[in-house]
Each structure stands twice: as C-alpha cells, then as structure tokens.
C-alpha cells in the first residue's frame, strides 16, 4: 500500500505542469483603478483606493483565465466625506458587516479579437449574484497591456434600497475596471483569431 502511494505521488510530481509553461500576470495597482458611477440628481462617481486583482491561467488559452477582484468597501472615495460615509453605512455597502466586495469569474468567452465577456459571481453586502463584466484587452502578444471593462448591476437586488436625503439615485450602478498588467513569466497567451 505504501509503495502504491509513493508511486502515485511520484507520477503526480513527474507529470505536474511546470509553472514556466503557463502565463503568469501581475497588475500594477498604481496604474490601475476600480471606479463606479450612479446616475443621480447630484453626481455620484467614485473609486476604491484599496483593492487587489489576480488573473490566473492554467494554460495559454486566453479563455482559460480566472479573474478575481477583491475590493475593500471602506476605501470608497467620491471626493465627498458625507457621500463616502453614507455609502459605507448599512444602507449601502454596510462595511462593518461585509467589508469586501468581490468578483470571481466562472467563464471567459472571447467575443472579438480583443474583447471578452467574463461571467462571474459578484458579491456585495454578503449577497452573491451572477453578473457579466465586458472587457477590452490591449497589448495582445506583447506581455504588457491593459484590461478595461464595465459591469452594471441593480443596487436594489443587493439590498441597497435606501436613498440619500435630497438626492434622487438611479438603481443601476456601473462599475469600471482599468487594469494595467504585465506577464512576469511563462509563454504568451493564445487568442482566437
């Protein structure tokens, strides 16, 4: 029995794909941003100061990647302390109860030479729902480039039913990601032509 386990372990190690065989990317956070906007009688546009994103590829197929974005909700910055405090409250982001906003991709579909639809699970206020992030990629094949995209969601579906006094707010929230990344190791991605 021991020998069988040792043989299985050895075969797993021998046939494990070397890390150098898959593309590895990192994002340059000081050249990237995660922003949002909501149509309102007084403009509500902001960004998040603290977030992290990863894009992991198990193969060189450009549609095999998994995108994860994790945002610290209390890092919201609209340029107005009053708006930021209201957005942090239990009526909106509820940062004391649910401090992170996340997006985890479940499927990437290439829709054009440099465009993708990224289906994933979006979680805010502890509520998770399927959403789609539409991306445009630049720098294809160079190892350095940008990933820009938008996703829209209905805030009321995530329990954000309140308003802000004297400000009329739409239900639709648009999130914009602008990520600058570089391939730090592995081969280039293979895109569908």
**83 closest CA partner among 46, 135, 52:** 46
In a domain, residue 26? The reply is: yes
Model confidence at 12, pLDDT cuts 50, 70, 90, reads: very low
Per mean pLDDT, which range of 10-14, 179-183, 186-190 is the poorest? 10-14
What pTM was estimated for this model as a whole? 0.85
Residue 125 lies in a domain: yes
Residue 188, Cβ neighbours under 10 Å: how many? Answer: 13
For strand 100-110 and strand 66-72, is the pairing parallel, antiparallel, or unpaired?
A: antiparallel
Query: Can you read off the two tokens belonging to residue 193?
Result: 């032509």
The domain of 98 spans 19-185
CA dist 71 and 184 (Å) reads 23
Res 162: pLDDT: 83
User: pLDDT, tens digit, for every residue of 109-152?
Assistant: 999 999 999 999 999 999 999 999 999 999 988 889 999 999 99
Percent of the chain's residues with pLDDT above 90: 66
Structural domain count, the chain = 1
What is the C-alpha to C-alpha distance for residues 148 and 34, in angstroms, rounded to an integer? 10
Is residue 109 assigned to a domain?
yes
- Give the residue, 191 or 12, on which the prediction is more confident: 191
Average of per-residue pLDDT values in the chain: 88
31 phi/psi in degrees, rounded to 5: -115, 15
Domain membership of residue 190 (yes or no) is no
pLDDT at 20 over 60: yes
63: domain CATH number is: 2.40.128.110
Residues in the chain: 193
Residue 105 has pLDDT above 80, yes or no: yes
Residue 35 token pair: 């922003």
* Residue at 75 is within a domain: yes
**Is 14 domain-assigned?**
no
Lookup: tokens for 56: 């992991």
Contacts of 6 (CB under 8 A, 6+ apart): none
52 in any annotated domain: yes
Percent with pLDDT over 70 in the chain: 90
Average pLDDT of the residues in 177-185 = 93
């Amino acid at each position: 029995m021991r020998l069988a386990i040792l043989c299985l372990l050895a075969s797993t190690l021998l046939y494990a794909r070397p890390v150098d065989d898959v593309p590895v990317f990192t994002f340059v956070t000081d050249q990237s941003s995660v922003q949002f906007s909501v149509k309102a009688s007084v403009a509500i546009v902001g960004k998040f100061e603290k977030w992290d994103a990863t894009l992991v590829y198990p193969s060189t197929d450009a549609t095999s990647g998994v995108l994860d974005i994790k945002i610290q909700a209390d890092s919201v910055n609209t340029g107005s302390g009053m708006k930021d405090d209201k957005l942090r409250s239990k009526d909106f982001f509820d940062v004391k109860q649910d401090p992170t906003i996340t997006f985890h991709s479940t499927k990437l579909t290439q829709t054009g030479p440099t465009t993708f639809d990224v289906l994933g699970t979006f979680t805010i206020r502890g509520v998770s729902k399927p959403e789609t992030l539409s991306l445009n990629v630049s720098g294809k094949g160079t190892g350095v480039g940008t990933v820009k995209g938008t996703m829209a969601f209905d805030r009321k579906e995530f329990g954000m039913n309140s308003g802000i006094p004297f400000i009329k707010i739409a239900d639709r929230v648009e999130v914009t990601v602008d990520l600058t990344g570089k391939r730090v190791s592995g081969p280039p991605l293979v895109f569908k032509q």
